[in-house]
A and B are shown apart, each in its own frame.
Chain A
Amino acid sequence: GAGVSQSPRYKVAKRGQDVALRCDPISGHVSLFWYQQALGQGPEFLTYFQNEAQLDKSGLPSDRFFAERPEGSVSTLKIQRTQQEDSAVYLCASSSRETDQPQHFGDGTRLSIL
């Protein structure tokens, strides 16, 4: 596909369960970003990959959040022992890392923790 693809689009989990969210970036994009968007708020940065290297994880809210991109393409955001405050839309974006090249966003995964 031409755009960033995220799956699943919706995920409902019980508090305490682990979840995994997938992102397929635009082919050839070196940079990959994860953001968390709470209802009615702007996206907040979680983590950044350049190829397979996780260069910035300063936005991850706790050690329950873990992201990987083992082959420099598809990325997975994992949340362990989910809590109600984890309910949000999780957005993935990719970029070619060239100067002034924009971040292209997927439509996100809406996570609801019951």
Chain B
Amino acid sequence: DQQVKQNSPSLSVQEGRISILNCDYTNSMFDYFLWYKKYPAEGPTFLISISSIKDKNEDGRFTVFLNKSAKHLSLHIVPSQPGDSAVYFCAASAMYSGYALNFGKGTSLLVTP
């Protein structure tokens, strides 16, 4: 069963605007959340993470928000740039499983000039 869900397979945003990618999870034991970015024919690369003790983490243009009560997190990219076009994977992990990552199916972001 899919414990991490990304319900939007794709998203298109104009350059300079905000991109918001959403992720929901079902396992309340998850205590660490990450976003990975993937270009075609390459492996995913780590983007940003957040611990369950926080509700926001910011790194430059990227901010991740966590709403534990709703079991929801989101990635905001502001301002969006064409080079941000990629597939974004949400991932969650828990101490009891050795922090092995559970990934969503990904959201393909297209930033248009």
| A and B are interacting partners | no
